[in-house]
Structure 1
Amino acid sequence: MHLTRRHALAAAPLTAAALAGCSRGESASGGSTTMIVPFAPGGGSDQSGRALADGLERATGDTVSVENIQGGSGAIGYSEFLGMHGDGSKLLATETALMALALTQDVRFSYEDFTPIFKAGDDFAILVTRPDADYGTGMDLVDAARERSILVGVSGATSLDEILFSLIEGDQQMEFDRVPYESGGEVLAALLGGHIEAGLLNPSEVLGQLQSGDLKALCALAYERYEADELADIPTGLEQGLDVAFAQFRAVIAPGGIDEEARQRWVEAAREYAGTEEYRTYLADNFLVEAPLYDKELGEYFEQYNEELAEAFT
């Protein structure tokens, strides 16, 4: 199954304190904002949220703090964020779980309950294993899983890696055995510890281990090879016969019900941030494909993404 999402994915650049507290009458500068990350520290979502918070803090002069609210594959963090309705001093670094949770679990929220602010770019995943593994390509791993149990780690039942493994299974008519974790950081630790045989991780999560030789890349589930020199030699799954490519968005949302002034200030702050060198550095450091969207345009993107993701779960 080859899902086309060339528009998608990225992390949450937007926020920070430029708008901190705007809905409460505080000034757009010198305020204090909390960026919620609904996953454990150490994974791609956490790294992205922190990088965006730091960049926006430098760009705006506001204080932007990061708070991890983990559990339930992101459901606990999103649920708490739902309760922050109308609070313009809160933001959340969001990704695929925003839609996937509502599509697969009994949660009280959907993407429509929040205020879309800014989508920074598209984030693809790399299929990795230990360097002494017998297989050297993604198709080798698939073939091995036809013969015996292959344990793979997933960072939640609605995570990008869970979606991608499911798409591979649908494309190749086979199955992996999953071990669930709370974050990409935990998947990485399990790989290094030899507790699982393979995982799908974002480049920013695993680059150090690839460069040190502690892990090796089998393929990238992307439409094209990475342009960055560090990753340019990694073939795509498409090159190896895996007809799967899917991008996770990384974006920033605000609670639902914030006033119009706060919403506009957040969007303006996001546009300003996207024009800075810090934003370019964020994209490069996290190996994201630039794909900025704002405000209502992002809301339309969320609607389309939700429709396509619903098809992936059927």
Structure 2
Amino acid sequence: MSPTLRQLALAASCLLLANTAFAAEPKRPECIAPASPGGGFDLTCKLVQSALVNEKILTKPMRVTYMPGGVGAVAYNAVVAQRPADGGSLVAWSSGSLLNLAQGKFGRFDEHAVRWLAAVGTSYGAIAVKSDSPYKNLDDLVQALKKEPGKVVIGASGTVGSQDWMQTALIAKAAGINPRQLRYVALEGGGEIATALLGGHIQVGSTDISDSMPHIQSGDMRMLAVFADKRIDEPGMKDIPTAREQGYDIVWPVVRGFYLGPKVSDAEYDWWKTAFDQMLASDDFATLRTQRALFPFAMTGAELDGYVKKQVTEYKALAQEFGLVQ
């Protein structure tokens, strides 16, 4: 490298360090879970709430607040329109958020409206029933749906076109059933799905495995199928069959992560990115993630931004296939 180029590189490095140095730890760190307590967004927030303090990245506790509505739409609009420069507030997102963005369900704001920060893990979609359900496997459910598709009440987070709807729609399509004939109850997050299922208000929950594990472990719920590419080799999950092994070639990962408002400064954004890079490399974080039935998926910054944009494009094509968008 020539002296001039070396000097320019050194100057650029010094400028980057100087910009990062201007950002300090947020005074009132907050994680917004855009649903009711007890679901996947809540789990995601509480995971990093614990991990950031354990790693001594945050010296003060991060509070978790709840902003349900539209499976993320209310929080997305509130942050973009009302709190765009709030550098202390993370907002949880999942693959379901990206699917809704692909269908324009977040109103006038699209996937370019926020600063995508980090992905911290992945779960998988799943079909859950009460432990005493007459449906013992996925084919039992499919046969019941073929016989009377409107008789089986399915609880899903969000309305037609949501991630949970899409999971059962893919099963229906594979079985030759019109997904529009299925009977759905729209709920707000995995916590409400579990409550409705255990209360007998729905017969089937289209959810994800991380939301449901506490109820599986307690013996109150059973999984008919998990939408992973192979059985999950973790305690309590090894006996849960995949949809694929039951003849339905459907895999649906549920990536979970965080974004920041669109006007958060580069220095504040870089502080959080550095914090997440450190946290995601930690063995203690890996333990906390596993305890919450999440699996490795670590991505931050520009790499994550590219991933999100690509996923939204793919989800748009899937939504068009099901006639959800033009």
Considering the TM-score relative to the shorter chain, is it more than 0.5?
yes
Distance in 2 (alpha carbons) for counterparts of 1:147 and 1:282: 43
Amino acid at match of 1:96: S
In the other structure, the counterpart of 1:43 is 39
3-state SS of the aligned residue for 1:313? helix
Displacement of 1:115: 0.9
Equivalent residue number for residue 69 of structure 2: 71
Deviation at 1:71, TM superposition (A): 1.2
1:153 aligns to 2:155 (yes or no) = yes
1:8 alignment counterpart: none
Say whether 1:250 aligns with 2:248. Answer: no
Residues 119-148 of structure 1: CA deviation (Å, up to 9, x unaligned): 112210221112232221112201111112
CA distance in 1, matches of 2:89, 2:50: 15
Q: Which residue in 2 is equivalent to 1:263?
A: 269
Q: Which residue of structure 2 aligns with residue 133 of structure 1? A: 133
**1:26/1:289 CA distance change after superposition, 3 Å:** closer
Residues 104-113 or 35-44, more deviating:
104-113
2:240 corresponds to: 234
Question: Given the superposition, is the C-alpha separation of residues 151 and 102 from structure 1 closer, same or farther in structure 2, using an over 3 Å criterion?
Answer: same
Give deviations 1:40-87, integer Å, cap 9, x for gaps. 111121122122122113321233111111112221111111122122
- Where does residue 91 of structure 2 map in the other structure? 92
Note closer, same or farther for the CA distance 1:115–1:223 as it changes in structure 2 (3 Å cut): same
Distance 2:277 2:295 in 1: 17
Partners in 1 of 2:262 and 2:194 — Cα distance? 34
How far, CA to CA, are the matches of 2:183 and 2:201 in structure 1? 12
CA offset digits 1:3-38 (Å, max 9, x no partner) = xxxxxxxxxxxxxxxxxxx99x6622x732111111
Contact 1:203 1:286 (8 Å CA) reproduced? no
| Residues 1:275 and 2:295 are matched in the alignment | no
1:162 to 165, 176, 196: 165
Total equivalences in the alignment: 291
Structure-2 residue corresponding to 1:212: 218
Amino acid at match of 1:168: I
User: Does 1:27 pair with 2:29?
Assistant: no
Structure 1 residue runs of 5 or longer lacking an equivalent are 1-21
CA–CA separation in structure 2 for the residues paired with 1:58 and 1:230: 26
Q: Secondary structure at the match of 2:224?
A: strand
Q: Is the 8 A contact 1:96 1:159 kept in 2?
A: no
Structure 2 unmatched runs, 5+: 1-18, 321-326
Which has the higher mean CA deviation after the structures are superposed, 133-142 or 238-247?
133-142
Shift of 1:151: 0.8
Deviation string 1:277-308 (CA, Å, 9 cap, x unpaired) is 33112320122221211100001100111112
Inter-partner Cα distance in structure 1 for 2:203 and 2:242: 19
Secondary structure in structure 2 of the residue aligned to 1:290: coil
- Matched with 2:202 is 196
Q: Give the whole-Å Cα distance in 1 for the aligned partners of 2:291 and 2:208.
A: 12
Amino acid in the other structure paired with 2:102:
L
Say what the alpha-carbon RMSD is for the aligned residues: 1.9
Aligned residue type for 1:164:
Q
Hey, what's the Cα distance between the residues in 2 that align with 1:67 and 1:159?
23
